[in-house]
Structure 1
Amino acid sequence: MKKLVLHIGMAKTGTSSIQETLGLDSVQLAEQGVYYPPWKPYNHSFMFTALFLRDPQKSFYYRQLSPISDESWAQEVTRLKALWHDFFESFTQGTCIVSAENLGRLSADEISSLKDFVAPWFDELIVVAYVRDPLQALRSKWEQDVKELREPLTGQELLTKTKHQMNYRFFERWIEAFGRDNFRLRRFEPSRFVGGNLLTDFLHTASITLQNDLVISERESNQSLGEEGTALLLAMNARYPWYSDAGYNQDRGMVRRQHLFYKAMRESGAGPLRVNVLFDEVEAQNFNLKIDYLNSLLPTRDRFDEVAASTELTKLPDSSSIPAEYVVELVNGLSHLVDDMADRTDHLQNMKAKLPEN
């Protein structure tokens, strides 16, 4: 009996922590019949979701390889499919877990392609997803949208766009493809986690049982940039958008290494993002329709409250209020990165000088 668990990692529901934990402890888990690919990145958005997108330019992985020809991309897709097939074939029974943060974006046709790809290898297919309080999720999604902004927009314009785009109707596509009994939605509420932690709750939701003597340490993975980092990114994006012409904007520094920039931001002592998101009357009505749909998929005790309308605008972080201490720490952190790269370059130059000329 082989089972596949497809984890649709909704934003800010501990997805990165689940992925890091499963990936780093993949050897221990395999001994218990639970299989998670040991290769990096542990987030399968890059090397799994990309295989089923009709438009590859929507893929993080495609943009990383950009510019890339259609022929080269087709070869890479073939290589990745073979990699997954080999992994699926590497065990004859047990449970395989695939976790990707952007699986929810797949269209019905793309989900169908995914199902056709994995179905021959498994006897059972289930889908697991967590959802946060929609109001909290909206704030987090807006922060993520700031990080991935493709065009110059003000914070307020982007917030309006985020409110409109945020929805949960994509769950219908997964329910239709895999069946309601195989779709498991959980409220992301730490106080309600089975066993008191996210990993145990996730395994329980996926009907995965480990032996009592196996201890898996849950890894924390916080990707929030905080109020200061978000304000700074809004100012940067206004001048240097991250993307240009379906690829990375080469005018933006560290464009292919933004994770290093974000890491420096998080290490600069930024405070958490605290934004009281407000809605006008039309926005509140539309957002409550989304909450109503989400509540229809949850048990009564796990349902979420609706939002109220307001005549005021949401107060967003502003770059003019960024503390000098934060800027100093950020510049110092980035300077350390430059030093590290310079040291590596010097080392390579010294090694090259010692090589024989012939």
Structure 2
Amino acid sequence: MKPDLLLHIGQSKTGTSSIQRVLGARRAALARLGVCYPASPGWANHGMLPASLVPLSRLGHFNPALWDGIGAEARLSRFRREFQAEMSGLPATTRLVILSAEQCGGLLDTRELITALRDLLAPHVGRMRVVIYLRRQDQHAASGYTQALRVAHVGPPMLPRHGPEALPHYDYARQLDDWAGVFGEDAMLPRIFERPRLLNGDAVDDFLALAEVPLQVPAEDPDRQSNLSLTPGGIDLVRAMGQHLKASPAGLTAASPLWRRFTQAASEALPGRGWRPHPAEAAAFLARFEQVNEAVRRRWFPDQPTLFEPLEPSATPPPAGPPPLDPEAALEAACILLEQDLRAAALREANQLAQIGALHARLGEAPQAMAALRAAIRAVPDHPMAQQHLAEAALRAGDRAGAEAHLAVLRRAHPDHAATARVERLLTLA
């Protein structure tokens, strides 16, 4: 029998990156449960799948790193071959295939394209189900501002000025109708992306339960926290950097490795809630989708009084225009980012020097070993491996007091580290 298919089509900014990273990092565990999370469409995000069905002219926003240096056309051709081979060679124990690409909802915007996807998958699977998480339009647009910054749209944050006629990706009624028209209404599994309506208030737990996959993912697992938004200061910093690069000879482009590296570093160092519009602005924007959302509620969520949680009113008037860039907030964010970057660079340097020192020690080159280890300590004074190797060198030289001094540093900075336990053991035996 062919395996079932669970096709996760988004939306973006509804925990999709976290879901994808959790699944991508656990392919072996999933396989033991009879679940395949294919690798050919992408390690985490299966964006290659919808990308292979549309003209290349629509893929300008895709990360150029996905093309592996051979260009989009050649890379997509290779994907088509690899995907066919992977799906044709599924183990007989596979009961479920999961595909996840939020680009499905954006790129496959006609029934013809959706049909092309269904026809591509149908030879390899049996029952097909389609999962989509819907987020209130004002919240989705606000959350998407951080993503817009990452692709070099560095203007001030604001909600779109249009409604469903100009923003079809927010016309959830039409989107669900199109996918149901191709896959069948019974195949559709729409969900609302709001904490009270998610299992444990978490998109990963909710998706795994929906897929009936008993995969245990610790709450503190870093894969659960993916594609986070920025702090207000982080937003101002990225905007300021974007303006700086725009004025540089090279300019600012989303494809720039420098820009992608910078925005990734900012996202890691400055995670936050992102931009939030004033409630009055959000209400005016959301009002344009009232009929669309009511149609979705009637058809797909008839037991719910409203499709989404209502807006909280505000007593303060809305601002006169988009928020200006705050130089002080940008400077503070830049200091945080610089501090973290300098600490990470020092740790990388210390790790390399400690490894070089350990190698010299194994080769019997004591002076070179001591020089490298002392350099590691200068970079990171309490570096555990460097402290351990220096303590061992002191013991070999008969300097018990020196070894105990290094152990005191280890106990203070790394009481539970393996290096601390090793030096304690050596001192006990000495």
Shorter chain as denominator, the TM-score bin is 0.7 to 0.9
Partner of 2:81: 82
Greater shift in the superposed pair: 249-258 or 50-59:
249-258
Per the alignment, in what secondary structure is the counterpart of residue 184 of structure 1? Answer: strand
2:62 & 2:284 partners in 1: Cα distance? 37
1:234 & 1:55 partners in 2: Cα distance? 29
Contact 2:9/2:132 (<8 A) preserved: yes
Partner of 1:316: 323
Instruction: Quote the offset at 1:37 in angstroms.
Output: 2.4
Partner of 1:32: 33
Q: Does 1:177 align with 2:182?
A: yes
Q: 1:149 to 1:91 in 2, by over 3 A?
A: same
Matches of residues 1-358 of structure 1 in structure 2 within 5 Å? Answer: 1=1, 2-38=3-39, 41-45=43-47, 47-58=48-59, 60-61=61-62, 63-64=64-65, 73-89=72-88, 90-92=90-92, 93-105=94-106, 106-108=108-110, 109-149=112-152, 153-156=155-158, 159-160=160-161, 165=167, 167=170, 168=172, 169-194=174-199, 197-206=202-211, 208-210=212-214, 215-217=216-218, 219-222=223-226, 223-238=228-243, 240=245, 251-252=251-252, 255-256=256-257, 258-269=259-270, 271-277=272-278, 278-279=280-281, 283-296=285-298, 297-301=300-304, 303-305=307-309, 313=320, 316=323, 318-322=325-329, 324-333=331-340
2:284 & 2:336 partners in 1: Cα distance? 42
Instruction: Quote the offset at 1:61 in angstroms.
Output: 4.5
Contact 1:193/1:201 (<8 A) preserved: yes
Per the alignment, in what secondary structure is the counterpart of residue 126 of structure 1? Answer: strand
**Alignment gaps of 5+ in structure 1:** 242-248, 344-358
2:84 & 2:327 partners in 1: Cα distance? 52
**Alignment gaps of 5+ in structure 2:** 351-430
Partner of 2:372: none
1:290 & 1:153 partners in 2: Cα distance? 29
The one-letter code of the counterpart of 1:286 is R
Contact 1:227/1:270 (<8 A) preserved: no
Partner of 1:350: none
TM-score (norm: length of structure 2): 0.64
Greater shift in the superposed pair: 127-136 or 274-283:
274-283
Q: 1:74 to 1:279 in 2, by over 3 A?
A: same
Greater shift in the superposed pair: 78-87 or 133-142:
133-142
Partner of 1:353: none
1:239 & 1:161 partners in 2: Cα distance? 30
Instruction: Quote the offset at 1:99 in angstroms.
Output: 0.6
Q: 1:240 to 1:75 in 2, by over 3 A?
A: same
Instruction: Quote the offset at 1:55 in angstroms.
Output: 3.4
Deviation per CA, 1:307-352: give whole Å up to 9, x if none: 6898754653623341533221223445678889999xxxxxxxxx
Q: 1:8 to 1:261 in 2, by over 3 A?
A: same
Instruction: Quote the offset at 1:14 in angstroms.
Output: 1.3
Contact 1:226/1:272 (<8 A) preserved: yes
Per the alignment, in what secondary structure is the counterpart of residue 84 of structure 2? Answer: helix
Partner of 1:354: none
Per the alignment, in what secondary structure is the counterpart of residue 131 of structure 2? Answer: strand
Percent of matched pairs sharing the same residue:
24
The one-letter code of the counterpart of 2:281 is F
TM-score (norm: length of structure 1): 0.75
1:68 & 1:162 partners in 2: Cα distance? 39
Greater shift in the superposed pair: 17-26 or 51-60:
51-60
Instruction: Give the structure, 1 or 2, with the largest relative contact order (CA under 8 Å, sep 6 or more).
Output: 1
Matched residue pairs, number? 330
Deviation per CA, 1:274-304: give whole Å up to 9, x if none: 5234439974542323433443433433622
1:260 & 1:188 partners in 2: Cα distance? 29
- Cα RMSD (Å) of the superposition? 3.9
1:66 & 1:195 partners in 2: Cα distance? 37
Q: Is the radius of gyration larger for structure 1 or structure 2?
A: 2
Instruction: Quote the offset at 1:94 in angstroms.
Output: 0.9
Contact 1:8/1:99 (<8 A) preserved: yes
Greater shift in the superposed pair: 306-315 or 8-17:
306-315
1:284 & 1:132 partners in 2: Cα distance? 12
1:232 & 1:170 partners in 2: Cα distance? 36
Instruction: Quote the offset at 1:80 in angstroms.
Output: 0.4
Instruction: Quote the offset at 1:51 in angstroms.
Output: 0.8
2:347 & 2:149 partners in 1: Cα distance? 28
The one-letter code of the counterpart of 2:91 is F
